[in-house]
Structure 1
Amino acid sequence: MKFESSLEKYVLIVATLTAFFTVFLSSGVGVVIPSIAVDFGMSNIVQNWITTIFFLAVAVFTIPAGQISGKYGLKKSMVCGSALFIISSIFATLSVSSEMFLITRIFQGIGVAFLNVASMAIVVSAFKPENRGQAIGLNVTGVYLATSLSPVIAGFLNHQFTWHSIFYFTIPFLVFCLIVLIVKIDKEWKTFENVPIDKKGSVVYSIGILLFVYGFTTLNEMSGVILTIVGIIFLIAFAYLELKIKNPVFEVRFFKNPKFSSSNFAALSGYLATFAIVMIVNYHLQYIRGFSSQTSGLLLMITPVFQVVLAPLAGRLSDKVNPQKLSAIGIAIGAVAIGIIATLNEHTPLYVLAIALALQGIGFGIFSSPNNNAIMSSVPPKDTPIASASVATMRVIGQTLSLGMLTLVFAFVMGNVPIIPEYYPLLTLSCQIAAAICTVLCVISVFASLVGINSKPVKL
């Protein structure tokens, strides 16, 4: 890719490296969950919260991060988000209890919320529209490259040392990214500099999404049903409130545009469908197959390797071909892959799983960059931080609900028990049910991707 200025080069380098290492650590933790659970004596339900609580924190803070980043500057947001992520990661290595470790995961999530919003928005702001899809594709490649390498590296580090080593490995690189950001990028982007922060909207949204997602993960209990309903009420109130004020924390009116709304819904359904699959396959490999975290990591990298190859190509192609059509094709391939994974049991040949993981990588590699491009190109340039927040929110809510759905299925089928050989048949059944649900969600995402193909950008 040719850069028109050194600023473009450094922006893309910082955004991609930051995306790589935050995703690397986030994904790496997922691979070593069994080891962390043993160290802290966690049950199957509690150990799922190692990942869920992180993404819940990201979901709660992403929408407010969009307006805050636009007002105080995208570069400042990346600096603060990086610093918070680094500090909380250090404390994670010092954790002496499950409670302390889970608290550090919350602060890591807050840091990532600002990084997710600012990194995408800063790339879009620094690049011209004709090169935007390619730049987004390369940025997304950093995410997929981290996803592909993290199972291998994290599995190796955990197998040879301890789960703490994945943090020791990551922190120096994050510090390096922070230094490059401060020293090499001398421009700031403030699109909402004179706009007051919508504190009321931020609070209502945060309460609503927190209650909804947490309630969703405990729907097997009456308290979970109540919290879910109350969360939905708060989110409805949030939408109503945002329509009534001049400078909302999130411009709900954008959803009047079919391209924006359908692409966001496709992203939500797609991430909801695919994210739990990593956990499902990881559990299948380590518990049912008895593979080490190192071996499991090698197999899990099949999917993201294909994503790494295809994401930049799909991003470049989305500058020339309707991105929603590409998204629909990609997620349709993903539906086939997850349908195969829904049949996994102890007798499934390993090559069948490998084929499914490859198809999933091909499908999601084609889906993500064009879907992001469709969302970002459907709003005016000044609103890129809000659109970026929307992209990040759909991804994180989808990922969080995906893990919540998996936890919910585990709770209904297995109950709150340790994952030991006695319960392996129930573990297999739980994973099959969850994967079947994910297949249906992929099909829904296909149809959502095709809505509003010929719609115009939002005009408020």
Structure 2
Amino acid sequence: MVEDQSIKKYTLLAVTLASFLTAITGSAINLAIPAIGNEFQSSTTSLSWVATSYLLACAAFLVPFGRLGDIVGRRKIFLLGVNVFFLSSLMCGFAWSMASLILFRIIQGIGAGMIFSTNMAILTSVFSPQERGRVFGISVAAVYTGLSFGPAIGGFLNHQFGWQSIFIFTSILALIVVLFTAFGLKGEWHGAAGEKFDRVGSFLYVLGITAFMYGISAMTTSPAAKFVFLAGFIILLVFGFYEVRIQHPILYLSLFKNITFAFSNLAAFISYSATFALGFLLSLYLQEIQGYDSQVSGLILLSQPVIMALLSPFSGSLSDRIEPRVLATLGMVITTVGLIPLSFLTPSTPVWLLILDLIFLGIGFALFSSPNTHAVMSSVEIRYSGIASSTLATMRMTGQAVSMAIVTLIMSVYLGDAQLSPSLYGSLLTSTKTSFAVFALICFVGIFASWARGKKQPVQAGNQPL
């Protein structure tokens, strides 16, 4: 019993540290976007790729690595992921051009894909169904804690030492996670040991989703993007037809016959599509339009994730007792309402009003995320937890990539490919408000997807695909 509790403690700590690391990296770099643009003389479209390239790579590799983790061991893939994340973070800090920075961000995204595809599956393997709501809440709280510290730390480091210091700082954190995982996380967990890895399906999936997402993001800036988008869509269709015909696919599409699983994943996709770009947009708004430095902007943006970090463990524990769809749908409603005022921003919007709205949004995010994760992971048998974890993470990362793609699309309409300057601040504000109006509409649709998942049903052995 003591050994069992020790395994649980170190497993939760390792996953929590990795969740914190990936979150703080993403939120910290948002505060350095204007500085990176100034150093490399980059347009707003190029700057959006600093975030989008990472998200696209992560989304593309999540499902293959989730399946590979089920076969060769989830700890192996998790540990490899934190190592790749460490090395790529270090290289980002020494990037000499926008192209090199984006390349290293792609590698960083692949490492994050290894982490995200296995972290929830490891927790599911170690903790009983009665404990999962609580530990998922703690893991989600670690993400939000990282998001909380990210703007403040990123703004401070960028202001005092330059944007490169953010990546150096996160590489040090990553090294700590590497050492702890290597020496503290004992044991190994498989979901499909001995089964064959689907190389053809993996290739089709990575190629298809990369082309599909790139096509969306570059639709207004590249004449060939619409053909790339179409090619990606066709490849994903071929992938789907192929997967349902083989014995051991990388993605059991029949899992989506489970209403709770399908709509919980859809709700996650919609939620992140409607909310992820918020930090990117508000960082530009606060620094370029309101004139705050990155340090002060980071402190302002701190208000939202702090609330999420405080409330996520509570909402996770609550989802062990209350239907997850009730809590998650309430969170989606609150988020929708919170996005609407952001579509009416002006150059003179009071900061205190923005902070209040960010706090309100934080409550909505916290009520949605932990219960929604609980709903997904509790809707399948434990042997499919790796697939469920990677699928949910794919929905999250793909949603985040779509969120950035929407912003890139709208900004390219209003700003073109020009470098930011005071003469374009009016167009920047218009594109920001338009983006938030679109996000509020998307989130409104998500309310219905969240409620449509139905009540949580007990998982019966044998009712999942073989």
Would you say same fold, with TM above 0.5? yes
SS state of the match for residue 194, structure 2?
coil
SS state of the match for residue 342, structure 1?
helix
Please say if residues 324 and 456 of structure 2, whose CA atoms lie closer than 8 Å, have aligned partners that are also in contact.
no
Compare 184-193 and 246-255 and name the one that shifted more: 184-193
Q: How far has the Cα of 1:216 moved from its partner?
A: 0.3
Please say if residues 322 and 453 of structure 1, whose CA atoms lie closer than 8 Å, have aligned partners that are also in contact.
no
In the TM superposition, 1:213-292 aligns within 5 A as 213-220=213-220, 221-292=222-293
Deviation by residue 1:352-398 (Cα, 9 ceiling, x = unmatched): 21121111100001100001111111111001000000111000000
CA–CA distance in structure 2, aligned partners of residues 369 and 455 of structure 1: 14
Q: How far has the Cα of 1:106 moved from its partner?
A: 0.7
CA–CA distance in structure 2, aligned partners of residues 3 and 427 of structure 1: 56
1:337 aligns with 2:338: yes
1:140 aligns with 2:140: yes
CA–CA distance in structure 2, aligned partners of residues 50 and 280 of structure 1: 14
CA–CA distance in structure 2, aligned partners of residues 173 and 100 of structure 1: 22
1:362 aligns with 2:363: yes
Structure 2 CA distance for partners of 1:3 and 1:327, relative to 1, 3 Å: farther
CA–CA distance in structure 1, aligned partners of residues 88 and 144 of structure 2: 23
Please say if residues 8 and 127 of structure 1, whose CA atoms lie closer than 8 Å, have aligned partners that are also in contact.
yes
CA–CA distance in structure 1, aligned partners of residues 97 and 280 of structure 2: 23
* 2:27 paired residue number: 27
Q: How far has the Cα of 1:351 moved from its partner?
A: 2.1
* 1:196 paired residue number: 196
CA–CA distance in structure 2, aligned partners of residues 380 and 148 of structure 1: 34
Letter of the 2:201 partner, please give it. Answer: G
Structure 2 CA distance for partners of 1:3 and 1:292, relative to 1, 3 Å: farther
How many residues matched? 459
Letter of the 1:280 partner, please give it. Answer: L
* 2:464 paired residue number: 459
Deviation by residue 1:26-81 (Cα, 9 ceiling, x = unmatched): 22112211111211221111011000001010011011011111111111111110
* 1:47 paired residue number: 47
Q: How far has the Cα of 1:455 moved from its partner?
A: 6.2
Please say if residues 124 and 136 of structure 1, whose CA atoms lie closer than 8 Å, have aligned partners that are also in contact.
no
Letter of the 1:316 partner, please give it. Answer: S
* 2:108 paired residue number: 108
TM-score normalised by length of structure 1: 0.97
CA–CA distance in structure 2, aligned partners of residues 12 and 141 of structure 1: 12
Q: How far has the Cα of 1:222 moved from its partner?
A: 4.2
Please say if residues 323 and 455 of structure 2, whose CA atoms lie closer than 8 Å, have aligned partners that are also in contact.
no
Letter of the 2:464 partner, please give it. Answer: K
Letter of the 2:317 partner, please give it. Answer: R
Q: What stretches of structure 1 of length at least 5 have no aligned partner?
A: none
Root-mean-square deviation over aligned CA pairs: 1.4
Please say if residues 3 and 9 of structure 1, whose CA atoms lie closer than 8 Å, have aligned partners that are also in contact.
no
1:151 aligns with 2:151: yes
CA–CA distance in structure 1, aligned partners of residues 30 and 120 of structure 2: 24
1:443 aligns with 2:448: no
CA–CA distance in structure 1, aligned partners of residues 125 and 291 of structure 2: 47
* 2:373 paired residue number: 372
Please say if residues 93 and 166 of structure 2, whose CA atoms lie closer than 8 Å, have aligned partners that are also in contact.
no
Structure 2 CA distance for partners of 1:330 and 1:455, relative to 1, 3 Å: closer
* 2:77 paired residue number: 77
* 1:411 paired residue number: 412
Letter of the 2:371 partner, please give it. Answer: P
Structure 2 CA distance for partners of 1:396 and 1:3, relative to 1, 3 Å: farther
* 1:325 paired residue number: 326
Q: How far has the Cα of 1:229 moved from its partner?
A: 1.9
CA–CA distance in structure 1, aligned partners of residues 266 and 91 of structure 2: 36
TM-score normalised by length of structure 2: 0.96
CA–CA distance in structure 2, aligned partners of residues 64 and 157 of structure 1: 35
* Sequence identity (%): 34
1:124 aligns with 2:129: no
CA–CA distance in structure 1, aligned partners of residues 376 and 100 of structure 2: 37
* 1:163 paired residue number: 163
Q: How far has the Cα of 1:3 moved from its partner?
A: 10
CA–CA distance in structure 1, aligned partners of residues 309 and 37 of structure 2: 30
CA–CA distance in structure 1, aligned partners of residues 226 and 299 of structure 2: 39
CA–CA distance in structure 2, aligned partners of residues 4 and 280 of structure 1: 45
Deviation by residue 1:377-433 (Cα, 9 ceiling, x = unmatched): 111100100000011100000000100110000111211111111001100110111
